[in-house]
């Protein structure tokens, strides 16, 4: 009985020490792998955007819209937020294109009891793969003069087409 009462304070000190060590190891969230600033993808390939985070306790990761900070959810068949922090855009049919999903600025956001951090802005843009025609308008020029020839490219692909000559 006498020895037992002697042991209690020691056990108490030991458990306090253990608790203190655990508290010391805790840390706020850190984004380990920043997603790219621009993600362009085609409707036939889709895209996965990764955001890996570190922290103790393990941070939860959500994706938010950069303009108003609201958390986004799944859009069946078009957008999925995975629990490991990956934002997934599966391949989709042309008629399922949704501007607020496929042309949007996102950020990933990691939270644990010690704080919240977010990634840089990720500009996502999906393009629907389709055939397009470029044309060169006819220009009439007097022999010997310089001609300005315009290359007409449909607006939905213009950002992705490079005119070389």
Site residues (vs ligand NAG, CB under 6 A): 43-44, 48, 50, 52, 82, 84-86, 91, 93-94, 128-130
Closer CB to ligand NAG, residue 67 or residue 74?
Answer: 74
**CA 96 – CA 108 distance, rounded (Å):** 24
Other CB atoms within 10 Å distance of the CB of residue 63: 24
Closer CB to ligand NAG, residue 28 or residue 90?
Answer: 90
Q: How far is the CB of 35 from ligand NAG (least distance, A)?
A: 10
Residue nearest to ligand NAG (CB): 94
**CA 75 – CA 47 distance, rounded (Å):** 15
Q: How far is the CB of 96 from ligand NAG (least distance, A)?
A: 8
Closer CB to ligand NAG, residue 85 or residue 112?
Answer: 85
**CA 111 – CA 29 distance, rounded (Å):** 6
Closer CB to ligand NAG, residue 83 or residue 165?
Answer: 83
Closer CB to ligand NAG, residue 48 or residue 111?
Answer: 48
Instruction: Considering only CA atoms, give the Rg of the chain.
Output: 28
Q: How far is the CB of 34 from ligand NAG (least distance, A)?
A: 12
Q: How far is the CB of 72 from ligand NAG (least distance, A)?
A: 17
Other CB atoms within 10 Å distance of the CB of residue 33: 12
DSSP assignment of 21-86: HHHHT-EEEEEEEPPPSEEEEETTT-EEE--EEEEESPPEEEEEETTT-PBP--BTTTBEE-TTS-
Q: How far is the CB of 90 from ligand NAG (least distance, A)?
A: 9
């Amino acid at each position: 009985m006498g020895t037992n009462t002697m042991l209690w304070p020691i056990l108490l000190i030991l458990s306090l020490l253990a608790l203190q060590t655990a508290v010391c190891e805790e840390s706020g969230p850190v984004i380990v792998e920043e997603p790219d600033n621009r993600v362009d993808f085609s409707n036939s390939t889709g895209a996965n955007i990764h955001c890996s985070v570190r922290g103790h306790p393990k941070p939860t990761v959500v994706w938010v819209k950069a303009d108003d900070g609201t958390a986004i959810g799944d859009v069946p068949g078009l957008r999925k937020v995975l629990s490991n922090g990956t934002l997934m855009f599966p391949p989709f049919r042309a008629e399922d294109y949704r501007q607020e999903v496929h042309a949007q600025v996102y950020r990933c956001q990691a939270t644990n009891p010690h704080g919240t951090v977010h990634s840089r802005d990720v500009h996502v843009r999906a393009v629907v793969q389709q055939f397009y025609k470029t044309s060169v308008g006819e220009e009439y020029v007097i022999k010997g003069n310089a001609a300005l020839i315009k290359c007409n490219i449909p607006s939905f692909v213009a950002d992705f087409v490079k005119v070389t000559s």
